[in-house]
Amino acid sequence: MPPRLLLVIPCFHESGRLPGFLPGLCAALAESALPVAVQVCDDGSGPEEQARLRAIVDALRPSFPLLRPLASQQENRGKGGAVYGGWALATTEELVGFVDADGAVSPTETTRVAAVALDPAQAGAATIAVRVGGSEHHIQRTPVRLITGLGFRMIVRLLFGLPVPDTQCGCKIVPTAAWRAVQPHLQENRFCFDVELLCHLLRHGTRLHPVSIDWVESPGSRIRPGTVAEMFISLVRLRRRLWSA
């Protein structure tokens, strides 16, 4: 069965964490028999790091045909740039998505989100993993990540009013046609690329379907307390641009 979903894993210096996530993800997807292809996309990490990533991917490909050869970008464009670079490789897939390389969204949870997105009942909708949903889901994060996340969500709610309780969880799946329709309007590649993408999908008429997941923070997070200020500046700039369009 040809893949209906192209799932991108954006990487920037992730050769240390990817081996702890990619084999389990490929195994979970293969066992599920879902029509998914996996594309690792390096975000300009440099020749040595790209060689390490390529070796990781190439070692797994004989066992997992769903895993495609490494895609590499020459320059660092940001996580959004790596995601969109990977999505641009979609050919016949009706859905494109991404999941972070750190494994905070586990292989099991990623596969569950993919199954929801591929359900005919969700046709035409964007499936958004969220780190909220009550006691039935386990969320584990450091105090810094908790405070940063709360601050970001509050700012997003005030500035954009998006009908999604968590815009930054690293697992999203959207209809390929919807992404291609909004792609010319997308300018953000770093902190708030998720927010810009969701805003334009809504303007396009795409329904956003949140899915609560388990989430466990992975060691090596690049989030720091000062990130909130940088995110705020990016969000204000984005709001100005969106409302002037």
Instruction: Show Cβ contacts of residue 151 under 8 Å, excluding neighbours closer than 6 positions.
Output: 228, 231
Supply 124's token pair: 């035409």
The Cα–Cα gap between 156 and 46 comes to: 33
Confidence of residue 110 (pLDDT cuts 50, 70, 90): very high
Annotated domain spans of the chain: 5-244
Condensed to tens digits (0 to 9), the pLDDT of residues 23-62 reads 999 999 999 999 999 999 999 999 999 999 999 999 999 9
Residues, the chain: 245
Condensed to tens digits (0 to 9), the pLDDT of residues 136-153 reads 778 887 776 777 777 788
pLDDT at 8 over 60: yes
- Amino acid 10 reads P
Give residue 217's pLDDT: 86
Sort strands 95-99 and 171-175 into parallel, antiparallel or unpaired.
antiparallel
Give residue 227's pLDDT: 64
pLDDT at 128 over 80: yes
Confidence of residue 5 (pLDDT cuts 50, 70, 90): very high
Can you give the C-alpha Rg of the chain in angstroms?
A: 17
Give residue 222's pLDDT: 58
CATH fold of 5-244: Spore Coat Polysaccharide Biosynthesis Protein SpsA; Chain A (3.90.550)
Confidence of residue 190 (pLDDT cuts 50, 70, 90): confident
The Cα–Cα gap between 82 and 84 comes to: 6
pLDDT at 191 over 90: no
The fraction of the chain above a pLDDT of 70, given in percent, is 94
Give residue 224's pLDDT: 58
Mean pLDDT, the chain, rounded, equals: 92
Confidence of residue 111 (pLDDT cuts 50, 70, 90): very high
Condensed to tens digits (0 to 9), the pLDDT of residues 192-239 reads 899 999 999 999 999 999 999 999 987 765 555 566 677 788 899 999
Give residue 138's pLDDT: 80
Condensed to tens digits (0 to 9), the pLDDT of residues 61-92 reads 999 999 999 999 999 999 999 999 999 999 99
Are 132 and 167 spatial neighbours (Cβ–Cβ below 8 Å)?
A: no
Give residue 230's pLDDT: 78
